[in-house]
A = this chain, B = another copy of it.
Amino acid sequence: MTTLPKVLAFDVFGTVVDWHGSIAREVDALQLGVSGDEFALAWRAGYQPAMQRVRSGELGWTLIDDLHRLILDELLERFGIRHLDEATKRHLNRAWHRLDPWPDAEPGLSRLKAQFMICTLSNGNLGLLAEMAKRGGLPWDCILSAEVFRAYKPDPATYLGVARVFGVRPQDVMLVAAHHDDLAAARSCGLRTAYVERPLEFGARQPKDVSARSGNELHAKDLLALAELLEC
């Protein structure tokens, strides 16, 4: 790599933390009569359509915590789960604050942090990301979120917002993500991109195709491998 980026911005859900395994475990523990695997996938499947309702203007600006709750209420209805009290529903909804990092995340980020400014760039809200980081020991230099830019990825305001916050050019920022659409949107704003393989993002029953695609400057098995590629 001829010149190194200055800032590494990380997608979080799926890239840094294992949402599927974490949500499935919490749902299984509640013994709701539905498989945690199925419930986790259904909850996450509601995520893009919910954000689309905000992007389209049908909903005003709404935090992910509140979108997660809208989806949860629909799912509980769909699965015929009607016995949960409000405190339990609130606790379950905040399972998204308690997602476990992938095993390489904390050591990988710690190595990368020694050489780069590392921040989140997630559609998750600030409180969610801060609680997740505190619980999981994720050593962010700064937590950036759609909440700061009042726009959800892939809105250019989010990618360009990272460069603006740090007073650098878009090409000084590298987005690290396990999702090609996120990376492509970042590239179209002039950011550099690194793909991270997360074959089990959707659980062991739905392994994801993580083969390399053109366009990404880096392709890494995990965040420790990314640190190697960036010579940390």
Contact = CB atoms under 8 A, between A and B. Distances in A.
Contact of A130 (B127, B133, B141, B148): B141
A167 interface: yes
B117 A167 contact: no
**Copies of this chain held together in the complex:** 2
Interface centre among A127, A133, A144 (most CB of B within 10 A): A127
A28 interface: no
Contacts of A119: 130
Of the four ranges (under 10, 10 to 19, 20 to 34, 35 or more), the interface on chain A belongs to 20 to 34
Nearest to A118: B134
A65 interface: yes
A125 B131 CA distance: 22
A142 interface: yes
A165 interface: yes
Q: Chain A: interface secondary structure?
A: helix
A143 to B, nearest CB: 5
Given A134-B141, A141-B133, A143-B143, A166 B127 contact: yes
Interface string A146-178: 011000000000000000011100000000000
Contacts of A65: 167
B167 A126 contact: no
Contacts of A131: 117, 166
Contacts of A141: 130, 133-134
Nearest to A119: B130
A159 to B, nearest CB: 16
